[in-house]
Chain A
Amino acid sequence: MVKKSMQISCPHGLEPRPIAELVQVASKYDSKVYLETETKRVNAKSIMGMMSMDLDNGDFVTLSTDGNDEDRAMEELQSFMTSRLNMVSMVS
């Protein structure tokens, strides 16, 4: 399993459309992909789950991928999240 922490830096919070795109990206992989906050743990392949995360500017999230293509999944998801969702990777 690979894990990576990130912080959201969108002044207006996250828009639904890029979140839907993130779900598409996550769904391409066989690995289990989860997004975690302090209180929630949601399957990143689920639109409803991701929409209900209610992420706000400054929130910390942890992305985890687990499966045979976990490294490739992590790489693409991370670059998607930094470019399209304005997330900042945390050095862990």
Chain B
Amino acid sequence: MDSVKLCEVVEKMHLSSLTPEIDIKKRKVTVADVNRPALQMAGYFEHFAEGRIQIIGKVEHSYMLQMTSERKEHIYERFFMNNIPCVVLCRGLMPGDMFVQYARRNGVPIFSTEEATSNFMAELIRWLNVRLAPSITVHGVLVDVYGIGVLITGESGIGKSEAALELIKRGHRLVSDDVVELRKVSEVTLIGKAPEVTKHLIELRGIGIVDVKTLFGVSSVRESQSVDLVIQLEEWNKDKEYDRMGLEEDYIEYLGKQIVCHRIPIRPGRNLAIICEAAAANYRQKLMGYNAAQELYRRLQARMVSRREEEQEKQ
């Protein structure tokens, strides 16, 4: 199962530890959600989502303040018995001594943040959703062309990296060469990233590894980019049919998300970068509501209609 190290959560969300003696290196978060343990503090432990980060805001805090010592003992004992990743107190609130005592006994770390509870929860859930999103690695090159994430795929040696290099020279930005980590961060968005090891690097057959960021500058690379369009390069096969109109769109599926896919036949002398650029620009235009293939269709239809009208007038 996917997991995020608790250390990362702490660093990302700027949490300060109230139990620094507890070792958090091995702790992991596996659920992209949080729980506000108000009902648990009131003694109701059915359906307790123990795997989530527990967030204490003003309501829980003030409720805990008015609990009697015996009640606290009973509740905290049950609360910390569960396998909780950690507890976070918002608004800079401080936990009672007994709460900390039980947390320590069970090795559950407590953190504090100055953020308001709802804001903190929203940001934490958003970030966890991104980090814990289902992911796969695909073989291809991801380039940002006019703001459209174009994933170029195809067999090894067909010229993906060369196409990417030409695109970079033309002012577009490289996200990842050869290996792209795809993450489905929401139902509608697929984000591509480079693995840490090969970030900003490109491999050109015969030359070797080239660092795009140092060669072409910071503006030629990008950390991550949504994948909007797939360009599948393949060797020209004259028995195969290639799209000539673009009225209907082909799709390819990654992690259950459908992405527009163009199959482009390769022949010596075809300038791949310009084709990628044109595909991206055309995709943008379609997003803005204009489809050139439909326009051609519309013109032809209009001509047929007017011709028929002329004939009728003659009769």
Contact = CB atoms under 8 A, between A and B. Distances in A.
A54 B178 contact: no
A54 B197 contact: yes
A43 B139 contact: yes
Contacts of B179: 42, 46, 48-49, 52
Contacts, number: 40
A51 B197 contact: yes
A4 interface: no
| Most chain A CB neighbours (cut-off 10 Å) among B136, B178, B197 | B178
Given A27-B156, A43-B156, A49 B139 contact: yes
B178 A41 contact: no
B198 A48 contact: yes
A85 interface: no
A48 B137 contact: no
B137 A47 contact: no
B198 A42 contact: no
Interface string B178-192: 110000000000000
A40 to B, nearest CB: 5
B201 interface: yes
A47 B160 CA distance: 14
Interface string A14-57: 00000000000001000000000000111101111101101000
Interface residues of B, number: 15
Contact of B195 (A43, A45, A52): A52
Contacts of B203: 46-48
Nearest to A26: B156
B144 interface: no
Contacts of B178: 46-49
A27 B157 CA distance: 9
A48 B201 contact: yes
A45 B178 CA distance: 10
B50 interface: no
Contacts of A51: 197-198
B177 interface: yes
B297 to A, nearest CB: 39
Contacts of B201: 48
Interface in B207-239: 209
A3 to B, nearest CB: 18
Interface of A: 27, 40-43, 45-49, 51-52, 54
21 contacts: A40-B137, A42-B137, A43-B139, A43-B156, A45-B156, A45-B157, A47-B178, A48-B177, A48-B178, A48-B179, A48-B201, A48-B203, A49-B137, A51-B197, A51-B198, A52-B137, A52-B195, A52-B196, A52-B197, A52-B198, A54-B195
In the A-B complex, the 8 residue pairs with the closest CB atoms: A48-B178, A52-B195, A45-B156, A43-B139, A49-B179, A48-B198, A52-B197, A46-B178
